[in-house]
A and B are shown apart, each in its own frame.
Chain A
Amino acid sequence: MAALLETTDLSKSFGGIKAVQNFLIHIDEGEVIGLIGPNGAGKTTAFNLLTGVYVPTTGKILFDGKDITGKKPYQITALGIARTFQNIRLFGELSVLENVKIAFTLHASYSFPEAILRIGRYGKEEQIIDERARELLAAFKLDSLADEQAKNLPYGQQRRLEIARALATRPKLLLLDEPAAGMNPQETKELTQMIRWIRDTYKLSILLIEHDMALVMHICERIYVLDYGKILAEGTPDEIKNNPAVIKAYLGTEG
């Protein structure tokens, strides 16, 4: 299988702090990859590099055969990388439906005059956006809440809505930043199934940051372990579980 995402020697420094160094990662089509590591290891910084929020100090990012290094976040999303955020960033004052509709903006092609005069492609495309947004909400069991303000949703549903919204951009690669944070065991179990279902239904690759080891070990095909900005280990869940360096980074050493 062809590599969907590949990085070479990626690093990011903030002044004297090297947040991420020599970050080498490759993701194939259809893979679910985990990115784990202790707090402050640089996981979210790595996400921000991949999505263009930060411009890397050194290194290159190749996505789908294209060099996306230094591209703006909205351009990277247009090429097919979507993400969710560690601290949920929904459009809180807007309805659930509007949250998803905004993410379809990327795929609408009607021009500004067509929008103002409500002619041409406007009507047809707005109809499609509305239908697709409702379909997506139904798939995520949020359709009954379509007119609810996003900020009024319970935490678990806000997380679900954020994923639904990210999928509306039709990504090839979905980045999930701690999707299980704040969820109870039952919700985490549902999330585990949902992540698999998303991968199979929408035919995409998933890279997720997560602290819930049960979830990570359960669904990830490969795992990268980040510590102090460097990749400490890479391998299948079983390899990672038995890797002495990983155990040391998480639990410390005796004496």
Chain B
Amino acid sequence: MQIIKSLRKFDLALLVLSVAVFAVLEVLIDMRIISSFWRLQIILIGINVILAASLNLINGITGQFSLGHAGFMAVGAYVSAIMTMWYDLPFGAALLIGGLAACIIGVLIGIPTLRLDGDYLAIATLGMGEIIRICILNIQAVGGASGLTGIPRLTTFAWVFWIMVITLFFLKNMINSTYGRSCISVRENAIAAAAMGINTTFAKVLAFAIGAFFAGLAGGLFSHYFSIAHPSSFTFLNSYNYLTMVVLGGLGSMTGSITGAALITFITAALSDYPEVRMIIYALCLILLMLFRPQGLFGSQEGSLLLRRLMNRRKEAKANGSTLGNN
């Protein structure tokens, strides 16, 4: 069968699934069956999925250990807020400019820091995230330490959901192309990748730029939901939190990033009534996971692949069953 046809069929199935999930959630929210607390959590899950999936491109797919994701998010949050507040741009355009700003910062920071490997890169990106935050903290025009307030509340569930879907489609299609395979080859063995004619520096910077772009979009959605952008929302601990989602789901698995983001946001929300034990339970969950499934929930596999294997197995079982029946 033609590859493109089977891919399009799969894409269509995913799109139908997305529409169905959207319709159900939208109806539940509209009819106020979901409480305002859980409505907020659903929006947060959407934003966190964008962040985790885009971080997964950098950390999981390309294997470049980055700890500065909240910094890119901050750039997007502030730039898009400035666009809607000061220049009265439509929300979509403001989000796009916020994302592009984060992307440009990502490229500028990526070119020098991506020469580093492993732990060194982690420390450099961590520092970079903090530099962005502290710069914002000291710019009085955007509110400095008291944060940027009065941002119009433009983020709706529909915006978050569809940008999340676009992000996931974008990343999925990228991974299944020569561009994504270049990134994966850098993770697997950079020397061999270069010997296969792959420009490893380009692949790394590409992953960094695209990861930063989507983090910027998520930042814009974030600041336009809470009507405020505050430097304390973009600390190292936030970057760390997104990394936890990626690792929990499985480095390199987009399905994993979605699950990780949803699960961690859910656990945090569900435990919000028990603030004393929240962090203990949270930490225990992570320790247990690392003990029993150190590769993350999905490993580096995609959910669709696991599903297909399961279906094949069931088909085989059925075939075996029917032959037995004939006998």
Known: A116-B173, A123-B3, A123-B4. A74 touches B188 (CB 8 A): no
Q: Answer yes or no: B184 CB below 8 A from chain A CBs.
A: yes
Residues of B within 8 A of A (CB): 2-4, 7-8, 11, 170, 173-174, 177-182, 184-185, 188-189, 191-200, 300
Q: Is there an interface contact between B174 and A102, defined as CB atoms closer than 8 Å? A: no
Enumerate 14 A-B pairs (CB-CB under 8 Å) in ascending A order.
A53-B191, A74-B200, A91-B192, A93-B300, A103-B196, A103-B197, A104-B178, A105-B185, A112-B179, A115-B178, A115-B179, A118-B173, A123-B4, A168-B196
User: Which chain A residues numbered 73 to 125 have a C-beta less than 8 Å away from chain B?
Assistant: 73-74, 77-78, 82-83, 85, 89-94, 98, 101-106, 108, 110, 112, 115-118, 122-124
Residues of A within 8 A of B (CB): 51, 53, 72-74, 77-78, 82-83, 85, 89-94, 98, 101-106, 108, 110, 112, 115-118, 122-124, 126-127, 129-130, 165-166, 168-169
A197 to B174, CA, bound (A): 37
Beyond the given A73-B194, A90-B189, A123-B3, could you list 16 further A-B residue pairs with CB under 8 A, ordered by the A residue number?
A53-B194, A74-B198, A74-B199, A102-B193, A102-B198, A105-B178, A115-B178, A116-B173, A116-B174, A116-B177, A117-B173, A118-B7, A118-B11, A118-B173, A123-B2, A123-B4
Q: Is there an interface contact between B188 and A91, defined as CB atoms closer than 8 Å? A: yes
A contact residues around B180 at 8 Å (CB): 115
A77 to B4, CA, bound (A): 29
CB < 8 Å neighbour of A77 from B2, B8, B177, B196? B196
**Chain A contact residues: over half helix, strand or loop, or mixed?**
helix
CB < 8 Å neighbour of A74 from B181, B194, B300? B194
B contact residues around A115 at 8 Å (CB): 173-174, 177-180
**What is the CB-to-nearest-CB distance from B204 to chain A, in angstroms, rounded to a whole number?**
13
B contact residues around A74 at 8 Å (CB): 194-200
What 4 pairs across the A-B complex have the smallest Cβ distances? Answer: A123-B4, A115-B177, A91-B188, A77-B197
CB < 8 Å neighbour of A89 from B2, B170, B189? B189
CB < 8 Å neighbour of A105 from B2, B3, B181? B181
Q: Is there an interface contact between B3 and A130, defined as CB atoms closer than 8 Å? A: yes
A93 to B60, CA, bound (A): 13
**Chain B contact residues: over half helix, strand or loop, or mixed?**
helix
Max count, chain A CB within 10 A of own CB: residue among B4, B180, B182: B4
Known: A94-B188, A123-B3. A110 touches B200 (CB 8 A): no
CB < 8 Å neighbour of B196 from A93, A102, A108, A110? A102
B contact residues around A130 at 8 Å (CB): 3
CB < 8 Å neighbour of B189 from A91, A116, A122, A124? A91
Q: Is there an interface contact between A122 and B4, defined as CB atoms closer than 8 Å? A: yes
Max count, chain A CB within 10 A of own CB: residue among B2, B7, B185: B185
Q: Is there an interface contact between B197 and A105, defined as CB atoms closer than 8 Å? A: yes
- Measured CB to CB, the nearest residue on chain A to B11 is A118
A112 to B209, CA, bound (A): 13
Q: Is there an interface contact between B181 and A101, defined as CB atoms closer than 8 Å? A: yes
B contact residues around A169 at 8 Å (CB): 196-197
Q: Is there an interface contact between B192 and A126, defined as CB atoms closer than 8 Å? A: no
A contact residues around B184 at 8 Å (CB): 91, 94, 98, 102
A94 to B181, CA, bound (A): 10
**What is the CB-to-nearest-CB distance from A28 to chain B, in angstroms, rounded to a whole number?**
23
Q: Is there an interface contact between A90 and B178, defined as CB atoms closer than 8 Å? A: no
A122 to B91, CA, bound (A): 32
Known: A112-B179, A117-B173. A126 touches B4 (CB 8 A): yes
Max count, chain A CB within 10 A of own CB: residue among B173, B180, B181, B300: B181
**What is the CB-to-nearest-CB distance from A92 to chain B, in angstroms, rounded to a whole number?**
7
A183 to B184, CA, bound (A): 29
Known: A89-B189, A94-B188, A118-B11. A106 touches B197 (CB 8 A): yes
Max count, chain B CB within 10 A of own CB: residue among A53, A74, A104: A74
- Measured CB to CB, the nearest residue on chain B to A52 is B194
Max count, chain B CB within 10 A of own CB: residue among A93, A129, A168: A93
Q: Is there an interface contact between A89 and B191, defined as CB atoms closer than 8 Å? A: yes
**What is the CB-to-nearest-CB distance from B212 to chain A, in angstroms, rounded to a whole number?**
16
B contact residues around A51 at 8 Å (CB): 195
Q: Is there an interface contact between A83 and B195, defined as CB atoms closer than 8 Å? A: yes
Q: Is there an interface contact between B4 and A118, defined as CB atoms closer than 8 Å? A: yes
A102 to B197, CA, bound (A): 9
A5 to B131, CA, bound (A): 50
Q: Is there an interface contact between A77 and B195, defined as CB atoms closer than 8 Å? A: yes
Known: A78-B197, A102-B184. A108 touches B178 (CB 8 A): yes
B contact residues around A53 at 8 Å (CB): 191, 194
**What is the CB-to-nearest-CB distance from A203 to chain B, in angstroms, rounded to a whole number?**
19
- Measured CB to CB, the nearest residue on chain A to B300 is A93
A124 to B195, CA, bound (A): 26
A77 to B200, CA, bound (A): 13
- Measured CB to CB, the nearest residue on chain B to A118 is B173
- Measured CB to CB, the nearest residue on chain B to A116 is B173
**What is the CB-to-nearest-CB distance from B43 to chain A, in angstroms, rounded to a whole number?**
26
A89 to B185, CA, bound (A): 11
Q: Is there an interface contact between A106 and B188, defined as CB atoms closer than 8 Å? A: no
- Measured CB to CB, the nearest residue on chain B to A100 is B196
**What is the CB-to-nearest-CB distance from A208 to chain B, in angstroms, rounded to a whole number?**
16
Q: Is there an interface contact between A126 and B195, defined as CB atoms closer than 8 Å? A: no
